[in-house]
């Protein structure tokens, strides 16, 4: 059975910014539609949507079967979700609200096998092909997962150089929504823009991919040109809401 290339490898080999979106609706049909639409990957959102492990597991199977990579944004940085999600076979994890290099190191350790980390052996899980992989094959596959942290406050941006230098870190994600909320600044405010540009420069020098989330195709193109390597555009609920509202508005307007 084939599967998509490991997400870190897709990032390294891509000749363009990878396009993804958030999954917030507990529907396998939605996941399949997103794959057919051409998204490179989806991020299952367990922080801001009521998606449990079973939903994430089923969505992962469908998405990977359709050729998409699957990341999961976990609810918090406690680490309690890492093991089961990784053994469910997800391609990577995004940890929200990481504000320091120490927090980044703890997150990476929870997703990494000993002696470098603390992830436990689950050879008979889906990630181990139900025990059909050998121990070395299973641990090697575990080394291919994407370990990402979200930078969502000014302290995280200020500590970005040390965070990016965390051994085993696969990438960072700049959460502009929470940055705008916590600072009261717009995304284009010079103070915030300069800090984000610094993160992009540090990450580029280290060969570390940087992601973010935006709303429109124009925003996606601007982010790609700015140096982001993986960008989420909108989300399943937003796309459904916007198109539903447009259909109603234009239908009633046409009939008035």
Catalytic one among 12, 48, 221, 249?
48
Q: What is the biggest distance separating any 2 CA atoms in the chain, rounded to whole angstroms? A: 69
| 97: annotated active-site residue | no
**Nearest-angstrom CA–CA distance, 77 and 187:** 25
Q: How far apart are CA 13 and CA 204, in angstroms?
A: 15
Sign of CA dihedral 199, 204, 206, 210: positive
Tokens of 118: 């603390």
Is 158 exposed, middle or buried, given 0-12, 13-18 or 19+ CB atoms closer than 10 A? middle
Which residues are tagged catalytic?
Answer: 48
């Amino acid at each position: 059975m084939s599967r998509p290339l490991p997400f870190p490898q897709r990032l390294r080999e891509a000749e363009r910014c990878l396009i993804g979106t958030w999954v917030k609706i507990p529907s396998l049909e939605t996941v399949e539609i997103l794959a057919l639409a051409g998204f490179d990957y989806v991020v299952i959102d367990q922080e801001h949507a009521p998606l449990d492990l079973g939903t994430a597991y089923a969505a992962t199977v469908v998405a990977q079967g359709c050729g998409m990579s699957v990341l999961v944004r976990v609810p918090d940085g406690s680490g309690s979700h890492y093991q089961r999600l990784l053994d469910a076979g997800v391609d990577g994890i995004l940890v929200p609200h990481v504000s320091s290099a120490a927090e980044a190191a703890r997150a990476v350790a929870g997703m990494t096998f000993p002696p470098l980390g603390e992830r436990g052996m689950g050879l008979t899980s889906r990630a181990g092909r139900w025990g059909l992989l050998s121990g070395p094959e299973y641990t090697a596959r575990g080394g291919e997962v994407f370990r990402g942290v979200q930078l969502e406050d000014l302290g995280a941006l200020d500590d970005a150089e040390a965070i990016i230098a965390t051994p085993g870190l696969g990438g960072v994600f700049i959460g502009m929504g929470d940055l705008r909320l916590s600072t009261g600044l717009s995304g284009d405010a010079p103070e915030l823009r300069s800090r984000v540009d610094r993160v992009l420069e540090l990450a580029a020098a280290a060969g570390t991919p940087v992601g973010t989330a935006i709303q429109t195709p124009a925003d996606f193109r601007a982010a790609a040109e700015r140096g982001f390597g993986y960008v989420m555009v909108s989300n399943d609920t937003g796309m459904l809401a916007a198109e539903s509202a447009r259909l109603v508005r234009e239908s009633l307007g046409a009939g008035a």
